[in-house]
Amino acid sequence: MSSAAWSEKILQLLHRMNNFHLAGSCRTSCFRFEVDGAQVGWIPPRVASLLTRHPHVFSPPHGGAVSLCHSLDSYERRSEAVDAVLQTLRQEDSLTCLRGWRDEYSVMPRFSDPPVMWMERAATSLFGVKRYGVHINGYTVSNSGEVSMWLARRSKTKQTYPGLLDNMAAGGLAAGVGIKHTLIKECEEEACIPADVAVKAHPVATVSYTYEDEEGVFPESQFVFDLELPLEFKPRVGDGEVQDFYLLPIQRVKELLATDDFKPNSAMVVLDFLIRHSFIEPDAEPCYQDFVAGLHHTL
């Protein structure tokens, strides 16, 4: 693949993962999701119409917003009331994203704010609630200075993106669980990396984007860590979320980013690694600024 074709493929990836910002997206028709006067998400019109059937939990759309009823004035009341609605919608089986039930995620206006409620992860796209995760770039440096990266192949039974390439370890931030704790947990569970090795990972960046699809709106931000591993270390399959690990030269990793074999947001995390480690440089890459902007597009 020519360098121009590779760059175009990467631009297409970034546009797809930020399509909520593009002209023609559902953003102009979405309702703000507000809790106690603060916006915490975006609700597509078809979801807002379903919520009107639950006036004891959601106020009718007004002024471009859907709000939780003011009587739900605590973290616990809000969480339990919304969860009851979601359980009802799940039983109706009209929303495909609710067929899988996973973890509880915190809902807050900004990451630094106290959470206003928790919400089932599978439902967050219905409300455009921002989701946070941790991604770990595992890599090695040979005695001659050559950098290689560990990639994981996701299990074919994974609910999302089965069988695609992924970062060495990654996971969503569940409600009440810290970033470093999640990093150590995911490293141990997915790649059998001991805690005393995982704790050496360095926080290096965040990668943020917002996309929409048939299941709703996905504002996401990933906390990115780099972990240099000893040359003799090999990740091992742990909890079954991964089926294999590969140690690949950086040039091969770069080529794979422009294929459909990579989980899209994980490809963005690897792209960020390539930029930060100067494997992509502004003198050689005409789309350098577009790449950087596409990796850090926040609402």
CATH number for 265: 3.90.79.10
Helix (H) or strand (E) holding 286: none
Q: Residue 182: its pLDDT value, please? A: 97
Same domain for 135 and 250, yes or no, is yes
Same domain for 281 and 154, yes or no, is yes
Of the three residues 107, 127, 147, the one that is the final residue of a domain is 127
Same domain for 77 and 192, yes or no, is no
Same domain for 93 and 139, yes or no, is no
CATH code, 98: 3.30.750.160
Same domain for 246 and 109, yes or no, is no
Same domain for 17 and 99, yes or no, is no
Q: Residue 173: its pLDDT value, please? A: 95
Same domain for 17 and 64, yes or no, is no
pLDDT tens-digit readout, 160-169: 899 999 999 9
How many residues would you count in the chain? 299
Encoded amino acid at 229, one letter:
L
- Domain tally, the chain: 2
Domain containing 243: what range? 3-21+131-295
Q: Residue 102: its pLDDT value, please? A: 77
Q: Name the residue among 232, 133, 143, 147 with its Cα closest to residue 185.
A: 133
Q: What are the mean pLDDT values of the chain's consecutive 10-residue runs (299 residues total)?
A: 95 97 93 96 95 95 94 96 95 86 90 96 96 98 97 91 96 94 96 97 98 95 98 92 95 96 97 98 97 92
CB contact burial 14-39 (16+ within 10 A = b; e otherwise)? beebbbbbeeebbbeebbbbbbeeee
Of the three residues 106, 127, 148, the one that is the final residue of a domain is 127
Of the three residues 127, 146, 162, the one that is the final residue of a domain is 127
CB–CB of 133/53 below 8 Å?
A: no
Q: Residue 243: its pLDDT value, please? A: 94
Same domain for 161 and 281, yes or no, is yes
Q: Residue 85: its pLDDT value, please? A: 96
Q: Residue 96: its pLDDT value, please? A: 86
Same domain for 160 and 143, yes or no, is yes
Q: For residue 114, count CB atoms less than 10 angstroms from its CB and return exposed for 0-12, middle for 13-18, buried for 19 or more.
A: exposed
Same domain for 93 and 154, yes or no, is no
Same domain for 157 and 259, yes or no, is yes
Q: For residue 256, count CB atoms less than 10 angstroms from its CB and return exposed for 0-12, middle for 13-18, buried for 19 or more.
A: middle
